């Protein structure tokens, strides 16, 4: 089945991808150096996977305040920007494409990561989740409600980081507006009880995302910008669905049509939401009629189900996460219908070389 539509080159607008497989963004916590710089090991990791149609990097923070995980890389400083050049170069040398995922964790952080100061969030509501700090996963706290000035400054942080991404040679940026992090916290009623222009109505809750997109005008072409959303996230990372959650995401996805983006990256529910009021269980099917551009879908796909979702017309590309951690040569394995390596979750977020660049490639 090596002629699967998943594996054939794909052109959207003026961009041609080697295939329709993306590598999903995945935090690996391997930037445990002073300055949280991208490393040579990271260049090897990403370039080993360059056969993917598109690589999306791990969540990469847009400011010090955006940090919510230990040892994650940033792209806000000059030094960080320079450090990413070895990664983009190594991927391009192998004919790959790479976007950097721009990340602000908001309330999914901890004072331990901010010299004792509270993390920033739309409202002062504890997500009752876990933050990953030096001592491991610990309980989150009640964050500080952001002032309007802090929201505007955050938009500027995304702009600055996008400029840095262009300088570093990235093919584009993905705004991380999913998985319970800052933008998602603005979208949902469980985390946003503001009464100013960033809360209340659907338009207000979505405002920070569109202000960020508008701030990128002139910095990068919108055909090089993706947005990631996880509309039916429920019961994880502090997120709860209510009657406004899906309508908010429908409004966002519909408005994203106006930008001519590289793609919208949606995630099927992380948990079973079939019994959850107001949730949508089949995200690609639900949002395909709303979004006219390149729709990327993720979560739990195999070669067969990824091929099927594209053939059925519900998505244009499929992002694979964990399978890419364990199989640097996932594309070749799909081409040959070869067996896959077993991932080891105990080394997903560790700081060592073990479990990073040592998964065996296929025997030829
Ligand atoms: C180790 C690990 C780290 C992750 N880090 C991120 C991240 O930084 N940004 C993000 O948007 N999603 C992150 N995710 C979610 C993945 O992008 C993806 O949605 C998830 O693994 C489901 O896809 P899969 O079934 O193909 O693995 C992470 C997942 C894993 C397993």
Structure confidence by residue, pLDDT tens digits, 250-281: 999 999 999 999 999 999 999 999 999 999 99
pLDDT mean over 342-364: 93
Residue 19, H or E segment: none
DSSP 10: E
Cα(303)–Cα(107) distance, rounded to whole angstroms?
Answer: 36
| 6-51 residue pLDDT tens | 999 999 999 999 999 999 999 999 999 999 999 999 999 999 999 9
CB under 6 Å to ligand 1: residues? 24-27, 58-59, 101, 176, 178-179, 228, 267, 298-301, 320-323, 348
Which pTM does this prediction carry? Answer: 0.98
Q: Which atom of ligand 1 is nearest the CA belonging to 72?
A: 8
Both tokens of 261, joined, read: 């983006």
Active-site residue set: 181
| Residue 299 CA, ligand 1 centroid: distance in Å | 8
For 131, 150, 160, the CA distances from 155, given in Å and listed in that order, are 23, 9, 9
Query: Do residues 189 and 123 touch, judged by C-beta distance below 8 A?
Result: no
Distance 267 CA to ligand 1 centre (A): 10
Among 315, 334, 311, residue whose Cα is nearest residue 323: 334
**Closest CA to ligand 1's atom 13:** 26
């Amino acid at each position: 089945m090596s002629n699967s539509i998943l594996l054939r080159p794909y052109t959207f607008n003026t961009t041609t991808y080697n295939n329709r497989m993306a590598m999903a963004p995945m935090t690996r916590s391997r930037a445990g150096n002073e300055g949280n710089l991208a490393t040579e090991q990271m260049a090897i990791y990403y370039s080993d996977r360059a056969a993917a149609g598109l690589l999306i990097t791990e969540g990469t923070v847009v400011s010090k305040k955006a940090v919510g995980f230990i040892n994650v890389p940033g792209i806000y400083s000059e030094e960080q920007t320079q450090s990413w050049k070895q990664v983009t170069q190594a991927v391009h040398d192998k004919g790959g494409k790479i976007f950097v995922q721009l990340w602000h964790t908001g309330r999914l952080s901890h004072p331990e990561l901010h010299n004792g100061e509270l993390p920033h969030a739309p409202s002062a509501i504890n997500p009752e989740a876990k933050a990953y700090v030096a001592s491991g996963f610990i309980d989150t706290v009640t964050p500080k409600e952001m002032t309007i000035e802090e929201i505007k400054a955050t938009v500027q942080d995304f702009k600055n980081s996008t400029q840095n991404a262009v300088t570093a040679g990235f093919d584009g940026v993905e705004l991380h507006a999913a998985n319970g992090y800052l933008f998602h916290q603005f979208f949902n009623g469980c985390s946003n009880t503001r009464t100013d222009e960033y809360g209340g109505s659907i338009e207000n809750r979505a405002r920070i995302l569109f202000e960020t997109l508008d701030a990128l005008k002139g910095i990068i072409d919108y055909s090089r910008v993706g947005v990631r959303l996880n509309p039916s996230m429920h019961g994880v990372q502090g997120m709860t669905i209510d009657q406004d959650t899906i309508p908010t995401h429908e409004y966002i996805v519909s408005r994203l049509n106006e930008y001519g983006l590289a793609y919208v990256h949606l995630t099927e529910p992380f948990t079973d939401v079939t019994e959850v009021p107001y949730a949508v269980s089949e995200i690609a099917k639900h949002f395909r009629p709303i979004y006219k551009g390149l729709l990327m879908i993720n979560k739990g796909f195999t070669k067969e189900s990824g091929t099927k979702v594209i053939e059925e017309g519900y998505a244009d590309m499929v992002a694979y996460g964990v399978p890419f951690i364990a199989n640097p040569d996932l594309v070749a394995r799909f081409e040959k219908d070869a067996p896959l390596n077993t991932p080891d979750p105990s080394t997903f977020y560790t700081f060592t070389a073990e479990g990073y660049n040592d998964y065996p490639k296929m025997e030829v």
